[in-house]
Structure 1
């Protein structure tokens, strides 16, 4: 009974947080620049441990040279590495991008898959990347994108006690209505960038402060 009530209260708080985030960032959307599903896939792979701003500076030249899965699958690996070097971990990212595009050509008829299970077969693709691609390339919402901002803020807001992204995603999927799963992630990312920063959260300027557990520590 206590556990059920505790969860009910947490869910009510989650819905209020969602409402406020929607009001704070009504026009929030994916900040990666892309034109096709494969370009979004590549950009999301590059965004690992890198800012979207930096990725968006790299991808114009990358996509001009290699605009589609076939071109990326056949790309010279050293040239690919040089083009994505500034995003960090460039060797591994270039290798995964090339291998993922080869699999898309060979196994998925040159189309980025529309199913989570198939996307997770691609090199360099975990649930975070797959959720972004499904939501923004195809409008398919099957999970909650958990990046560093979503992880940090969900913990601070007391919505999860977990540190593993998959477990955090499961916790959030229980609290947030499915149609809002991706909206939640995008708006929480905006709030993490603007207000609730990792090292110096601006609690005095935060519109969520009365619902936040972090400030009570």
Structure 2
């Protein structure tokens, strides 16, 4: 009996999908573009600083949950100076509903202080400078660079990692390998929006437990097998969309 696939056991056999061809990748993004020409992120922000804070807070949390907490927070602290003045306890009071809020509050205050000290209160525009801030890793830096500064970066979260591997778009053993594979594979014209198209596809269609293949724009191109059939309602007919 073949080994059962397990993401937690490196000794088990994991069958990698065949990578999509250049022509197939071009078609994937053509379809995403046709369906959603101007995709947007779902985190709420008012400037580069509030976007940076929102992304830091979004680690292991949902965008919906982060938005609920930051609406009141950003109303009183939308600059590094105001955020630092709140202090860790002050920030914590606003973000208690977010997982790991104590550690995140410390990072938000610390990065605010460093922005004031090193960058005159402005959010830097390079990955290296962003990653030097507390709580900011490669993924967070890429999100800020892409969304606010319009740089062609791709931030690989759990959704992009899954989509890249499952579809054959950019198979890779870890997020960095998937990111680098996507940077090579994505057509130049699609680079700016690729991050958003893929994260939205992974969040709402190519879901982790049960991908909704029956309503996928790229099901005929995707390497994932077997495709998930459309759900059937009791008494016949297709079940209503979830």
Same fold (TM over 0.5): yes
Q: Offset at 1:132?
A: 1.4
Match of 1:98 among 92, 103, 109: 109
Question: Which residue number in structure 2 is paired with residue 22 of structure 1?
Answer: 33
Aligned partners of 1:177, 1:91: CA distance in 2, in Å? 41
Are 1:211 and 2:218 an aligned pair? Answer: no
Aligned partners of 1:114, 1:11: CA distance in 2, in Å? 31
Match of 1:66 among 58, 63, 77: 77
Are 1:80 and 2:91 an aligned pair? Answer: yes
Are 1:146 and 2:176 an aligned pair? Answer: no
Aligned partners of 2:80, 2:188: CA distance in 1, in Å? 31
- Contact between 1:25 and 1:190, CA under 8 Å: does it hold in 2? no
1:1-217 paired onto structure 2 within 5 Å: 10-141=21-152, 143-216=153-226
Q: Offset at 1:12?
A: 2.2
Gaps in structure 1 of 5+ consecutive residues: 1-5
Aligned partners of 2:100, 2:224: CA distance in 1, in Å? 32
- Contact between 1:10 and 1:175, CA under 8 Å: does it hold in 2? no
Aligned partners of 1:59, 1:13: CA distance in 2, in Å? 40
> Whose Rg is larger?
2
Aligned partners of 1:208, 1:214: CA distance in 2, in Å? 11
1:55-82, CA deviations, whole angstroms, 9 ceiling, x for partnerless residues? Answer: 1111111111222111112322122122
- Contact between 1:69 and 1:110, CA under 8 Å: does it hold in 2? yes
3-state SS of 1:123 partner: coil
Aligned partners of 1:28, 1:160: CA distance in 2, in Å? 21
Number of equivalences: 210
Gaps in structure 2 of 5+ consecutive residues: 1-17, 228-242
Stretches (4+) displaced over 4 A: none
From the superposition, tell whether residues 103 and 148 of structure 1 become closer, same or farther in structure 2 (CA, over 3 Å). Answer: same
The TM-score with structure 2 as length reference comes to 0.81
Q: Offset at 1:179?
A: 4.7
The TM-score with structure 1 as length reference comes to 0.90
3-state SS of 1:43 partner: helix
